[in-house]
Structure 1
Amino acid sequence: MNTMFFLLLVLSFSLIILFNLIFKPKNSKKSTGRLPPGPKGLPLIGILHQLDPTYPHLYLYNLAKKHGPLMWMKFGSRNVIAISSARVAMLALKHNDLAMAGRPALIGFKKYSYDGKDITFASYNETWREMRKMSLIHLFSVKQVVSFLPIRKEEVSRMIEEMTKKSDSSELINVSVAVFFLINRIICRAGFGKKYDEMGKRRFDEVFEETQVAITAFYFGDYFPFLGWIDKFNGALSRLDNNVKELDDFYRELIDDHLDPNRPESMNGDILDLMIKLKQDQAASVHIDWDNIKGILMNVFVAGTDTSTSLIVWAMTALIKKPQAMKKAQEEVWNVVGNKGFVDDDDIQNLPYLKAVIKETLRMFPPTPLSVPRETIQHCTIDGYDIPPKTMVYFNTHAIGLDPEYWENPTEFMPDRFLNSTIDYKGHDYGLIPFGSGRRGCPGMNFGVAGVELALANLLYSFEWKLPDGMKEQDVDMEVSPGITPRKKNDLCLVGKRYKYN
């Protein structure tokens, strides 16, 4: 089997090379215009053989140091550019946002898009615009995010109580695990009207993990159309199809539960309930079907969990490594909240240093260090270079957050840089675009950040945090797990002493 696979692979590559040599247009260089600089790749495969699939953002970051913040590359048959500075990001997003509003039809994304109808993986079309409008106005508006406050408060309180029990028994507190369960509980209740414990945690977690792997897997058909057969031969497509079916069954169960006239009251007003009402409302300005709903559930399910968990854990990790910043953050929240016993949403508006900590964490540990790729739907010009249609576009938010031309001491964790600063993460300041910008900006940003702020504020308010005995700040590892979202590889385990209010 292995010998036959190898022979077929060699034969396929040989035929493609021969086809390329015979039919390659003589004037192909002229037709593309003035392309950006970039690494020279091999015939046919480009630089795919060099790309680190585990940490592609780091590979592209180091490559940009040599070739510049706007790089042209070939990933197999695909034209690709990578943007690695705030200045070039502004030129792309402020002046060419519409030209870059498409999404490439990558197999791992397309399979989960329910025929291209969801708000993340669709091409730039009328359906996509309607879905985005619905998300911003009805699902993740400020008013709707506020309506989920009781859920956030209840689940954060539950997390603090569980941590307090460990603190009282002198156990180490695994912050990573506690935060993971917190975010899952919030998403399950706000999104689906069910408690995380009721959804079959093992099934929920296993499907989620498999989805993360399947979306980011390498598929030959994405970069070598002639080699799409390999994805079937090696079982990659079967694995992908199985996961999509599991997700579809999962969504169907959630929808059926919501359509049950005897459903629990907890489902009233959750995100799925809102979408069903919009579907049933003939007078609504947005018309959606079940595939649209499944597509948006996909976004809530996959995009919501890891990003918020990662942000809180990295914030706590950065603070524990920098005691001065931890002290400043905790003294702020203790002084503002006093002996109330819990930090409310209203208190957070009076915690500028907490907000600065979150911004600095987003800068240094963006939830998606390499953005979900865009695709140009028409020719555009960036910094004097020609970018042809059907070019895949990556924004390296990791590199942009470390851009020395935009940030002073970019490798240092310095929340103070955001005090008395108007720089924000909402897509208007191009040195800080962890949630994207423009037409492809994340519509669920407010929902995610609200949970992060409340959780982090109460973690800082409720406990005095210290490292385990014998451990120093420099001993705290910063290893990252591979994946779309860079989770901390090893759990953050700390000593948490319940703070005694005056």
Structure 2
Amino acid sequence: MEEKVLLAVAVVVLLVVVSKLKSLLVTKPKLNLPPGPWTLPLIGSIHHLVTSPSIYRAMRDLAQKHGPLMMLRLGEVPTLVVSSPETAQAITKTHDVTFADRHLNATIGVLTYNGTDLVFGTYGERWRQLRKITVLELFSVARVQSFQRIREEEVARFMQSLAASAGAGATVNLSKMISRFINDTFVRESIGSRCKYQDDYLDAFDTAVRQTSVLTVADLFPSSRLMQILGTAPRNALKCRNRITRILEQIIQEQVEAMDRGEKTAHESLIGVLLRLQKEASLPVELTNDTIVALMFDLFGAGSDTSSTTLNWCMTELMRYPATMAKAQAEVREAFKGKTRITEDDLAGAELIYLKLVIKEALRMHCPVPLLLPRQCRETCQVMGYDIPKGTSVFINVWAICRDAKYWEDAEEFRPERFENTNLDYKGTNYEFLPFGSGRRMCPGANLGLANIELALASLLYHYNWKLPDGVKPEDVQVWEGPGLIAKKKTGLILHPVTCIAPADA
């Protein structure tokens, strides 16, 4: 009897083994994948990316060897890296719908409420409706203009805070001051007033951003339940998200109570717009409190960090190029001669051409989000003759594209003049210059972000001369980026402000 049982077990085992061998031996269609570097078992291509201080620099170096459409494998995640205007156009225009989804790793999935927000939401009808709300209601030209008084007041406060340091002959950490100014401005635009929870929220948000700066085992092996359990990053991200959610829910509650009391402000804040639309209940998509919380999380990420990063890089590069600084200062001082405060109406009337070129060049050399945000292939397709499997994560290395000597003369030099007499703009149609992306997933808040930068930069150049600390030469100014999705300057910009035209009291 025992022999019969053993025989039966052996037969079953044999059948299973044969079945497995058969499945392995079945010839599968061979895909013509894009080229890429050699891989190692388990970790894939990761060892190629740890040789550089930043992942986009490493990807640029690899693409120079393997081509502008390059396949990597980050753990078990197939990853396409796009590094030329032609390949960027193929992804964001020719095959835009096919690559309209976002790739969610474990950490970002937790932070973005499982992709129920706008920035990382799955492409579909709900996403389209949220995008429509954002473009038409939150970031319209009229809405951006409605915040003019806020920007002017916050710039005036910023200039006054610098005046105290200039009078004492002290150095300032301009990077920190810029960050505080942008945060104060954006909080008022978002909520309508200064917020007692602001510092707590910004600390939680900064923690969330830092958690996206590295790839964890849970991100690299999404199919492994064991890695999801063992990985600490998703749990830490959840704690951070819960903290952010509690703060935003409290802000929402207070805003609702103020609306019920009939309180009105000089302008409608971004959260006020969302709560009004929620109350009207006339939209195809339901604006629940959870949805508003997720959208506010997106708004702070898109509106504060990227603006402060760009303004910081503008000042950093101007300090590295004294002749460029002198030219920019001469323009604003000639335009606003005799004024003690600059307004946005002054800016509009002056047509500061060179100032706008400085901002463009800073965006070229220091794209706020160097790899944009990862897309994902929704279905297997062909791009420029190569097969791209469904589920492939896609990075567009705009940092590399914007520094490619094939498209930019003296690409590593800060030369705002390169944009003179050209139609190059950041609207998403010049594929060699995509600081805000292109296609369906292009950043919808670029106009608000730039508005928060222009008046501040003009005022910094108009009111103050800037000197480096003793012993520091322009070529010594550090230009390395810190880790993370947003390319912040790694170290603070320490300068001496010297009053040239005293600012009016705030």
TM-score normalised to structure 2 length: 0.89
Aligned to 1:37: 35
For the pair 1:82 / 2:81, whether they are aligned, the reply is yes
CA distance in 2, matches of 1:294, 1:141: 21
Q: Say whether the 8 Å CA contact 1:69–1:85 is kept in structure 2.
A: yes
Displacement of 1:89 in angstroms is 1.1
1:189 and 1:62 mapped to 2: Cα distance? Answer: 42
In 2: Cα distance, 1:289 partner to 1:392 partner: 30
Cα shift readout 1:398-457 (whole Å, capped 9, x = no counterpart): 101112221111111100011121101121111111111110001111111110111111
CA contact (8 A) 2:44 2:75 kept: yes
CA separation in 1, counterparts of 2:22 and 2:306? 47
Give the corresponding residue for 1:27: 27
Alignment of 1:56-455 (within 5 A): 56-195=55-194, 198-201=196-199, 203-260=200-257, 261-262=260-261, 265-266=264-265, 269-284=268-283, 287-349=286-348, 350-455=351-456
Q: Deviations over 1:331-370 (max 9, x none)?
A: 1111112222233223434011111101100000010112
Candidates 45, 49, 65, aligned match of 1:47 = 45
User: Which residue of the partner structure matches residue 10 of structure 2?
Assistant: none
Whole-angstrom CA distance in 1 between matches of 2:372 and 2:35: 21
Q: Which residue of 1 aligns with 2:12?
A: none
Mapped to 2, the partners of 1:251 and 1:200 lie a distance apart of: 10
How far is 1:167 from its partner? 0.6
Rounded to whole Å, the distance in 1 between the matches of 2:21 and 2:338 is 75
CA distance in 2, matches of 1:210, 1:324: 38
Superposition CA RMSD, Å: 2.2
* Equivalent residue letter for 1:223: L
1:262 Cα offset (Å): 4.5
Which deviates further from its counterpart, 209-218 or 478-487?
A: 209-218
CA contact (8 A) 2:150 2:185 kept: yes
Pick which of 216-225 and 326-335 moved more: 216-225
8 A contact 1:112–1:298 mirrored in 2: no
User: In structure 2, do the counterparts of structure 1 residues 262 and 63 end up closer, same or farther at CA, with 3 Å as the change threshold?
Assistant: same
> CA separation of 1:318/1:259 partners in 2, compared to 1, >3 Å: closer, same or farther?
same
Alignment partner of 1:154: what SS? helix
Unaligned runs of 5+ in 2: 1-18
Q: Aligned with 1:58: secondary structure?
A: helix
Deviation at 1:233, TM superposition (A): 2.6
Q: How far apart are the structure 2 equivalents of 1:354 and 1:319?
A: 11
Displaced runs of 4 or more, over 6 A: 19-22
Given that residues 220 and 228 in structure 1 are in contact (C-alpha distance below 8 angstroms), is that contact kept between their aligned partners in structure 2?
A: no
How much does 1:31 deviate? 4.2
In the superposition, the TM-score normalised over structure 1's length comes to 0.90
- 8 Å contact 2:110–2:234 — kept in the other structure? no
Question: Which has more radius of gyration?
Answer: 2
Instruction: Report the residue type matching 1:27 in the other structure.
Output: T
Secondary structure of the corresponding residue to residue 420 of structure 1: coil
For residues 256 and 20 of structure 1, the distance between their equivalents in structure 2, rounded to whole angstroms, comes to 58
Q: Distance in 1 between matches of 2:135 and 2:288?
A: 18
- Preserved CA contact (<8 Å) 1:369 1:396: yes
Per-residue CA distance 1:451-495 (angstroms, 9 max, x = gap): 011111111111112222332112212232211112122211212
Q: For residues 79 and 21 of structure 2, what CA distance do their matches in structure 1 show?
A: 22
From the superposition, tell whether residues 186 and 264 of structure 1 become closer, same or farther in structure 2 (CA, over 3 Å).
Answer: farther
Superposition deviation, residue 73 in structure 1: 1.4
Compute the displacement of 1:178 (Å).
1.0
- What whole-Å deviation, never above 9, does each CA across 1:249-279 have from its counterpart, x for those lacking one? 0111111011113486459610001001111
Take 1:234 and 1:130, find their aligned partners in 2: how far apart are those partners?
A: 35
Amino acid at match of 2:211: A
- Which residue does the alignment assign to 2:6? none
Deviates more, 1:70-79 or 1:147-156: 70-79
1:278–1:287 CA contact under 8 A, matched in 2: no
Aligned residue in 2 for 1:5: none
Mark the CA change 1:340 to 1:390 in structure 2 (over 3 Å): closer, same or farther: same
For the residue of structure 2 that corresponds to 1:97, the secondary structure is coil
Contact residue 343 and residue 454 of structure 1 kept, 8 A: yes
Question: How many Å separate the matches in 2 of 1:436 and 1:139?
Answer: 19
Q: C-alpha offsets along residues 271-303 of structure 1, whole Å, 9 cap, x if unaligned? A: 001001111113346542222211110111223
Amino acid aligned to 2:27: N
SS in 1 for 2:304: helix
What amino acid is the match of 2:425?
D
SS of the residue aligned with 1:111? helix
Structure 1 CA distance, aligned partners of 2:288 and 2:168? 52
CA distance in 2, matches of 1:26, 1:443: 47
* 3-state SS of paired residue (1:495): strand
CA separation in 2, counterparts of 1:330 and 1:465?
Answer: 11
Cα–Cα, structure 1 residues 268 and 336, in superposed 2: closer, same or farther, change >3 Å?
A: closer
Q: Which amino acid in 2 is paired with 1:385?
A: Y
